[in-house]
Structure 1
């Protein structure tokens, strides 16, 4: 009799045999026991995780003569007929090769006929995402409201390609990747039942290389059995899967930590001569450093290690390597792995990565003890300078505060206008000079805005010229804070003077004064002018000095004199 592959011989025949999918099998078993099976199911997930096997088990269970049961008996004529394919009412269709509208229409026409042998007619459509849009549309109505004796089971590895109108009509179950521990347990059971001799570590290597698929794991185990003589050893598993032994990874890891480029490159060259796959090598090296990181940070999670064997070399390397170094190693290797996907010279990228790993840490760790000592001395000197500065600042503050105590207290509330300059301007102030500035005040604001100085022009919104002489003018501010901000901004003063010079044709200086201070200074100036006029004349003046000053400020045409 022709030899059958292990994955065919040991295909699950009950839900208990479906490994790593308890969330699916438990739900289906409960539905079978309570007879609450639905008319359409969608099984999605990676390859080799048991989707088609679960579909066939479900088809047997709903048609089992011992229903309701949570597992098919695999003994009644219905179960045996479905297992050997002699029951015509369980139809398995490969959508990859039957993806046209005509095939689906044929199903739609035949679905109304009652089953011949078993209670339910079950359609298992594998790789359903390969159906065309027309085929999906032809399936829609039948899938939503099939006859009571029909069950549809759709299986796919790419559920995102299935229209939502199909998914919404099905009860969906997502199959997960099977863990390495579950795969090892299943392979150990199969090997024991088949009389195969093996090393425990060999099964772990095969399980990790399977990538979460039980079918892939059994195929690799089949290949390893054919390659070995009497017992499946670790070397057999490494050869079949293309993986790298931990002894080589320990050597390369030690060379990277010791900055030994020649040792790292020569070990890699030896692996290539043995026919190892470069893609598998860099993946193994990433997982190796990952296991070191987990062992170093969480040693109690030994079962989480992907490929590491806790030998003496591994544990010693985990003690001396720093966590930050592991982060850098994994990051560099991960970037190299991404770059390798787009080149035909992947080997060169790995060699460059090994050199980079050996040299990167040497650059960071190149500070010797002398340099460290020099840095510490500089830090100490800087700390002493800071202490001295703080001490001197206290002395200066005390010295500066002593004369202030002896002097008469001076008001420091807010901004103090330049009274002397204001009085000088008032002595020569004329109405014509004031009108000249007021007439071009709008042009000044626009010029400031055009120069992207909107914040400065905003200070002049509540300001206005109050008095002007031929060479200067007084700018009255409504708010003291605006006056302070304007007069303390030397750049603002220079630009304003420059713009005014361009507008009026002569250089004008200005002095700012808050409105409340302006009223006091103006009244005091008029009062002093009046007193000076009375003391300076021996006879009665012909003209009232207050009236003269008022005329000078606002112009004679705006003043009406009443006795």
Structure 2
């Protein structure tokens, strides 16, 4: 019968324990100096070696042939402990033995001296599962145990243990095992098992184990069965349902380039392969985090646990994106990571995420605003905006008198192939918004909104512009209740908040003048918010006689 790797290669001495040198060194020093405590608390995430270390410690304190404070694993006591064939070392699973009666039974057995060993060792696993009554029953024994008793409590959730228990124990915190340590351990095991393996495959297994060596060995075991004693990177990708590194770089580049179409296409292909979208979001977070680290640090060995050639690729890709963009992308992905756990339709949530990342206009954060301003600056630099100036001719007023305006100028701004991103968003989504209103059984309102002639957005106000003959539509839509309802539907449909104003074409002129009069003040306000008061100094220079 096949024995799982994590069982077959369970550490047999302190030297075998991976990544916990700070703990094994302390325990060995206590044995050497005969300074052994009566109660220990081993804390840490799953698969980091808590129970294995407890069993090694139980053998080490009882082994008569101990060398360098390590158990010999050959003597009768060591063999009996290894085979669970001794009454002096007791392992208790608190998840299934958590009642007061179970602890009372333990208290009774503590009274009896060890039969073979020097110490009676009680290992209580998942101790946080004990009931409050059981903790109270354990407290007295833990405070004043006989000299021959050692308690080792192991838990993944130390915050659930009463302070009265914690204060009576020496606490040891087990760290997550690093990717490099896990990779080295698995490479050694593969060598002993005569298994051919790609190092980047082991690296991928390690990164997906989240610091738990036992999880890594379980995945390795599965990969060995899948690959018939040969483990390749593509097989690990297939088994784990992750994205391979080339696809991850490709998708990240589409996002950086703000290529919405290709981003959604990559996501669609990922779904077609039957992969878990949650894994994709996690992988993207790791990838963009690594890009951010490459931007701000040169010493990457300890921060990014990836092969050297992959780190080179990361450095190259990080040159094409700024830190502000990376922060914005990571914020959106992290929010999605939280929401996707409870989502009934992860694919739709992921698609919305791709659109928000690739198009800053869908995002209202300060980082997104900075990106939108950068895009606008690039558009202006490209020459897509042209300003025409014309002289207003002399006009005749109602009394027949000539009014001379030859010194008055009116600037007419003509946008060529440039339209407000917010207006683009509204135009592209208007049919969807009306459909949502129609589905809400508000058919007359949906029909009225179908007659909107034009849109404009300024200061987060969405202007619905009707032709002059549609005064009845304006009157109907301007009711406060109706406006609030439309704003709500827009917010829920496109994830953007606007204040709605309904106007006629004849009123547009007044709106334009208001926008022109306010645009300098508003621009100053936005810039000050972005760069901070006192950093930006705006000086208005008024030159006389029209000289430039």
TM-score interval for Structure 1 and Structure 2 normalised by the shorter chain: 0.5 to 0.7
Q: CA deviation digits over 1:73-105, x for unaligned, max 9?
A: 112211111111112211111111111111111
Answer yes or no: is 1:371 the counterpart of 2:380: yes
Instruction: For residue 314 of structure 1, report the CA deviation from its aligned partner.
Output: 4.3
Structure 2 distance, partners of 1:334, 1:106, is: 48
Contact 2:139 2:165 in 1 (8 A): yes
Structure 2 distance, partners of 1:289, 1:203, is: 22
Contact 2:180 2:305 in 1 (8 A): no
Give the SS at the match of 1:320. Answer: coil
Give the SS at the match of 1:47. Answer: coil
In the superposition, relative to structure 1, how do residues 312 and 24 fare at CA in structure 2: closer, same or farther (>3 Å)? closer
Structure 2 match to 1:318: 318
Q: Which has the higher helix share?
A: 1
**Comparing 223-232 and 108-117, the one that deviates more:** 223-232
Structure 1 match to 2:235: 236
The 5 Å alignment of 1:104-503 reads: 104-306=103-305, 309-310=309-310, 314-360=314-360, 363-367=372-376, 371-372=380-381, 385=541
Instruction: For residue 261 of structure 1, report the CA deviation from its aligned partner.
Output: 1.6
Contact 2:66 2:72 in 1 (8 A): no
Structure 2 distance, partners of 1:259, 1:230, is: 43
Contact 2:48 2:212 in 1 (8 A): yes
Structure 1 distance, partners of 2:98, 2:312, is: 57
Larger Cα-atom Rg: 1
Structure 2 distance, partners of 1:161, 1:143, is: 17
In the superposition, relative to structure 1, how do residues 311 and 305 fare at CA in structure 2: closer, same or farther (>3 Å)? closer
Give the SS at the match of 1:249. Answer: helix
Contact 2:104 2:137 in 1 (8 A): yes
Give the SS at the match of 2:310. Answer: coil
In the superposition, relative to structure 1, how do residues 159 and 370 fare at CA in structure 2: closer, same or farther (>3 Å)? closer
Structure 2 distance, partners of 1:73, 1:156, is: 27
Instruction: For residue 368 of structure 1, report the CA deviation from its aligned partner.
Output: 5.3
Structure 1 match to 2:27: 28
Q: CA deviation digits over 1:94-147, x for unaligned, max 9?
A: 111111111111111111111111111111111111111111111111111111
| TM-score normalised by L of structure 2 | 0.66
Give the SS at the match of 1:317. Answer: helix
Q: CA deviation digits over 1:191-235, x for unaligned, max 9?
A: 112212111001111111101111101001111111113421111
Structure 2 distance, partners of 1:107, 1:383, is: 81
Instruction: For residue 355 of structure 1, report the CA deviation from its aligned partner.
Output: 1.4
Give the SS at the match of 1:88. Answer: coil
Instruction: For residue 242 of structure 1, report the CA deviation from its aligned partner.
Output: 2.0
**Comparing 93-102 and 315-324, the one that deviates more:** 315-324
| TM-score normalised by L of structure 1 | 0.64
The 5 Å alignment of 1:466-545 reads: none
Structure 2 distance, partners of 1:285, 1:117, is: 56
In the superposition, relative to structure 1, how do residues 302 and 168 fare at CA in structure 2: closer, same or farther (>3 Å)? closer
Structure 2 match to 1:83: 82
In the superposition, relative to structure 1, how do residues 261 and 124 fare at CA in structure 2: closer, same or farther (>3 Å)? same
Q: CA deviation digits over 1:237-268, x for unaligned, max 9?
A: 11222221111112212212222222111111
Instruction: For residue 364 of structure 1, report the CA deviation from its aligned partner.
Output: 3.9
In the superposition, relative to structure 1, how do residues 32 and 369 fare at CA in structure 2: closer, same or farther (>3 Å)? closer
For structure 1, the 5+ residue unaligned runs are 390-563
Structure 2 distance, partners of 1:369, 1:347, is: 33
Contact 1:43 1:173 in 2 (8 A): yes
Structure 2 match to 1:13: 12
In the superposition, relative to structure 1, how do residues 141 and 23 fare at CA in structure 2: closer, same or farther (>3 Å)? same
Contact 1:32 1:69 in 2 (8 A): no
Contact 1:288 1:307 in 2 (8 A): no
Structure 2 distance, partners of 1:303, 1:169, is: 36
Q: CA deviation digits over 1:332-391, x for unaligned, max 9?
A: 11112122123211111111111122211774443256735999x999xx86826989xx
Structure 2 distance, partners of 1:144, 1:61, is: 24
Contact 2:290 2:314 in 1 (8 A): no
Alpha carbon RMSD of aligned pairs, Å?
2.6
Q: How many residues align?
A: 385
The 5 Å alignment of 1:53-92 reads: 53-67=52-66, 69-92=68-91
In the superposition, relative to structure 1, how do residues 56 and 388 fare at CA in structure 2: closer, same or farther (>3 Å)? farther
Structure 2 match to 1:416: none
Contact 1:184 1:203 in 2 (8 A): yes
**Comparing 77-86 and 206-215, the one that deviates more:** 77-86
Structure 2 distance, partners of 1:333, 1:307, is: 21
